[in-house]
Chains A and B, each alone.
Chain A
Amino acid sequence: MHELSIAMSILEMAQEEAQIRNVRVEAVYLKLGALSGVVKEALLSSYEIACEGTPLQGSRLIIDEVPVVIFCAKCNAQRPISSLQLFCCPQCGTPSGDIVQGKELEVVALETSDLEYTNPENKECAPNPV
């Protein structure tokens, strides 16, 4: 269970970006690879806990689950695998450990709003203007 420390890193990043741009973060968009070693449900609840008492309290974490894609040398093409238990080309059956996608753990975007607007859901924790 390392999702809490990952949630705190996400929160830290979002806060940093928000401070630079002087905005409030409403939502964080995350790409999460199937091989990232992170469990979506645990991350979602950890994020909520991590945000408590911070300017991001009430913000949403929107997770885009990224499937594993391998490169099949025989087909000379990138293919999504059909199961995490079988790393082979779904078309020709050739085994491949050449992972093109699926290890992502990346904040890709933030949904923001102006600081002056106070979200009724989290008005008690207006961001520190400093």
Chain B
Amino acid sequence: MRPEPRLIEVRRNVLKQNDIVARELRDRFHRARVFVVSLVSSPGSGKTAFLERVLTSMGREYRVAALTGDLATENDAVRLARSQAPVKQITTGTLCHLEAAMVQTALEDWKPEDLDFLFIENVGNLVCPSSYDLGEDLRLVLISVTEGEDKPLKYPSIFNSADIAIVTKMDLAEAAEFDWDAAYGNIQAVRPGMPVFQLSAKNGRGMEEFLSFLAARLAELRQAAV
């Protein structure tokens, strides 16, 4: 006869392993007094162009470096390296997102102590990265004006895993008939209070404002760490 099945309580977070590594990373970054920013977006919304511009501009004043995730190629790392900042590619193979352990491995021969800012560009994907903490201080979600204003409504999870939204390719806004009010409204609908920046990596619009924002966040971090 089939014995009675028993129910036993377990309560285990499935992503605990990732969360543990992410916490270790965050502690390590804070000890090193480096401010860590990650970027998520769909493929082609301009993460790499944006980051190249950020690295180039900030590199004049700060010690900056970047890790960039990609399924197969090293193209992004090659592009970012033009900024003269140290850049390392994390090739994920078939994996559609970065995990904390990959960041940890990529940093093995780097010293976060020697940096002011570390940027982590995730694989282009608006779904999977939302589940994985990478130990960053700030997560940016990017949407471009060519993608449609309803992206936030379609991907509420990723918007709720991020801290700041950035609307990219603003130089194309008019040609794409981009409706800023609708896009902003949609971001606020899924993530009330989320700060939003409008940027163009091509003509530099909005960059200065964003860079001062980052500089202020670094100053805050360092003040808190004193």
Contact = CB atoms under 8 A, between A and B. Distances in A.
A2 B160 CA distance: 18
Given A2-B131, A35-B156, A26 B14 contact: no
Interface residues of B, number: 36
Interface stretch (B47-55, B106-114, B189-197, B210-218): B189-197
A27 B7 CA distance: 9
B60 interface: no
B154 to A, nearest CB: 9
A87 B158 contact: no
Given A35-B157, A37-B158, A85-B153, A106 B190 contact: no
Contacts of A5: 95
Contacts of B160: 35, 97, 99, 103
Contacts of A49: none
Q: Choose among A5, A10, A36 the residue with the greatest number of B CB atoms under 10 Å from its CB.
A: A5
A38 B158 CA distance: 11
B17 interface: yes
Interface string A49-80: 00000000000000000000000000000000
B30 interface: no
A107 B194 contact: no
Interface residues of A, number: 39
B3 A117 contact: yes
Given A109-B7, A110-B8, A95 B13 contact: no
Contacts of B97: 2
A88 B192 contact: yes
Interface in A1-49: 1-2, 5-6, 9-10, 13, 17, 21, 23, 26-27, 29-30, 35-38
A13 B192 contact: no
Given A111-B5, A113-B6, A95 B127 contact: no
B128 interface: yes
A10 B130 contact: no
Contacts of A101: none
Contacts of A110: 7-8, 10
A36 B157 contact: yes
A105 interface: yes
Contacts of A38: 131
Interface string A82-94: 0011111000000
B192 A114 contact: no
A119 B156 CA distance: 42
A99 B131 CA distance: 15
Contacts of B104: none
Nearest to B160: A35
A109 B190 contact: no
Nearest to A3: B128
Contacts of B161: 37
A5 B9 CA distance: 23
Q: Choose among B11, B15, B127, B158 the residue with the greatest number of A CB atoms under 10 Å from its CB.
A: B15
A114 B190 CA distance: 47
Given A2-B95, A97-B160, A111-B6, 19 more contacts: A1-B96, A2-B127, A2-B131, A5-B95, A23-B6, A35-B130, A37-B161, A38-B131, A84-B190, A88-B192, A96-B192, A97-B191, A97-B193, A105-B131, A106-B13, A106-B14, A110-B10, A113-B2, A113-B6
